[in-house]
Amino acid sequence: MTQSKTEINVLRVLTLAAVLTLAACGQPEPAATTEPMAAAAPELVAETAAETEAELVARARGIHERVIVMDTHVDINTANFTEQTNYLSDLNTQVNLPKMDTGGMDVAWFVVYTGQGPLTEEGYAGASENALDKFSAIHRLVEEIAPDHIELALNSDDVRRIVASGKRVAMIGVENAYPMGTDVGNVRRYQEMGARYISLAHNGHSQFADSNTGEGDGVWLHDGLSELGRQAIAEMNKWGVMIDISHPSYEANKQTIELSRAPVIASHSSARELDPGVSRNLWDDELLAVKANGGVVQAVAFRNYVNSEKQRAYTTALRALQSTVAEGLGYTLLEPADVRALSADARARYQTQLAEINELAAPRLAEAVDAVAPPVDVSDFVDHIDYMVNLIGVDHVGISGDFDGGGGVTGWADAAETFNVTLEMVRRGYSEQDIAKIWGDNVLRVLDEVQQIAAEIQAAEGV
Instruction: Give burial (CB, 10 Å; 0-12/13-18/19+) of 352.
Output: exposed
Concatenated DSSP letters of 327-381: HHHT--PPPHHHHHTS-HHHHHHHHHHHHHHHHHHGGGHIIIIITTSPPPBHHHH
How many residues can be counted in the chain? 463
Q: Clarify whether residues 277 and 350 are in a common domain.
A: no
Q: According to the model, what pLDDT value does residue 19 have?
A: 35
Per residue in 63-122, pLDDT tens?
999 999 999 999 999 999 999 999 999 999 999 999 999 999 999 999 999 999 999 999
6 is a domain residue? no
The mean pLDDT of the chain is: 91
Q: Is 271 left (phi over 0), alpha (psi -120 to 50) or beta?
A: beta
Q: In terms of pLDDT, which residue wins out, 28 or 62?
A: 62
Question: Against a cut of 0.85, is the pTM above it?
Answer: yes
For 241, the 3-state DSSP assignment is coil
Largest Cα span, the chain? 78
Show the DSSP H helices in 222-367 as ranges: 227-239, 250-259, 284-293, 303-306, 308-329, 336-340, 344-361, 365
**How far is residue 218's CA from residue 453's CA, in Å, rounded to a whole number?**
36
Residue 168 to residues 1, 142, 220, Cα–Cα distance (Å): 20, 10, 41
Q: Look at residue 220 and tell me whether its pLDDT is greater than 50.
A: yes
For 224, the 3-state DSSP assignment is coil
Q: Clarify whether residues 325 and 258 are in a common domain.
A: no
Q: Clarify whether residues 289 and 355 are in a common domain.
A: no
Q: Clarify whether residues 145 and 271 are in a common domain.
A: yes
Per residue in 352-373, pLDDT tens?
999 999 999 999 999 999 999 9
430 is a domain residue? yes
48 is a domain residue? no
Count: domains in the chain = 2
Q: According to the model, what pLDDT value does residue 51 have?
A: 52
Task: Read off the pLDDT of each residue in 430-445 and give the average, rounded to a whole number.
Answer: 98
Q: Clarify whether residues 235 and 332 are in a common domain.
A: no
Distance linking the first and last C-alpha atoms of the chain: 52
Show the DSSP H helices in 67-113 as ranges: 97-103
CA nearest neighbour of 256 among 284, 300, 295, 215: 295
Residue that terminates a domain, selected from 321, 345, 370: 370
**What residues contact 273, with CB distance under 8 A and at least 6 apart?**
283, 284, 387
Q: Clarify whether residues 160 and 291 are in a common domain.
A: yes
**How far is residue 47's CA from residue 115's CA, in Å, rounded to a whole number?**
54
Residue 7 to residues 24, 129, 314, 360, Cα–Cα distance (Å): 9, 39, 20, 12
Concatenated DSSP letters of 2-23: ---HHHHHHHHHHHHHTT----
Q: Look at residue 13 and tell me whether its pLDDT is greater than 50.
A: no
Q: Clarify whether residues 196 and 261 are in a common domain.
A: yes
Q: According to the model, what pLDDT value does residue 336 have?
A: 86
29 is a domain residue? no
**What residues contact 360, with CB distance under 8 A and at least 6 apart?**
325, 328, 329
When pLDDT is cut at 50, 70 and 90, the band that residue 40 belongs to is: very low
**What residues contact 41, with CB distance under 8 A and at least 6 apart?**
none
Q: In terms of pLDDT, which residue wins out, 6 or 226?
A: 226
CB 111 within 8 A of CB 130: no
146-166 per-residue burial string, b: 16 or more CB within 10 A, e: under 16: beebbbbbbbbeebbebbeee
Q: What angle do CA 103, 105, 110 make, to 5 degrees?
A: 130
32 is a domain residue? no
Q: Clarify whether residues 284 and 345 are in a common domain.
A: no
CB 203 within 8 A of CB 180: no
11 is a domain residue? no
CA nearest neighbour of 296 among 108, 112, 455, 438: 438
Per residue in 323-350, pLDDT tens?
999 999 999 999 988 998 999 999 999 9
Q: Which residue range is the domain that position 343 belongs to?
A: 311-370
Q: According to the model, what pLDDT value does residue 64 have?
A: 98
Per residue in 275-318, pLDDT tens?
999 999 999 999 999 999 999 999 999 999 999 999 999 999 99
Q: According to the model, what pLDDT value does residue 193 have?
A: 98
Q: Clarify whether residues 411 and 321 are in a common domain.
A: no
Q: According to the model, what pLDDT value does residue 232 have?
A: 98
Percent of the chain predicted with pLDDT > 90: 88
Q: Clarify whether residues 421 and 389 are in a common domain.
A: yes
Lowest model confidence (mean pLDDT) among 23-37, 177-191, 208-222, 446-460: 23-37
What are the backbone dihedrals phi and psi of residue 152, each rounded to the nearest 5 degrees, phi first?
-80, 130
Q: According to the model, what pLDDT value does residue 38 have?
A: 35
Q: Clarify whether residues 383 and 424 are in a common domain.
A: yes
**What residues contact 217, with CB distance under 8 A and at least 6 apart?**
none
Residue that terminates a domain, selected from 370, 395, 410: 370
Q: What is the CATH number of the domain that holds 404?
A: 3.20.20.140
When pLDDT is cut at 50, 70 and 90, the band that residue 10 belongs to is: very low
Concatenated DSSP letters of 116-180: ---SSHHHHHHHHHHHHHHHHHHHHIIIII-TTTEEE-SSHHHHHHHHHHT-EEEEEEEE-SGGG
207 is a domain residue? yes
Task: Read off the pLDDT of each residue in 128-147 and give the average, rounded to a whole number.
Answer: 98
Residue that terminates a domain, selected from 321, 337, 370: 370
CA nearest neighbour of 452 among 242, 195, 170: 242
Q: Clarify whether residues 318 and 457 are in a common domain.
A: no
227 is a domain residue? yes
Q: Look at residue 186 and tell me whether its pLDDT is greater than 50.
A: yes
Radius of gyration of the chain (CA): 23
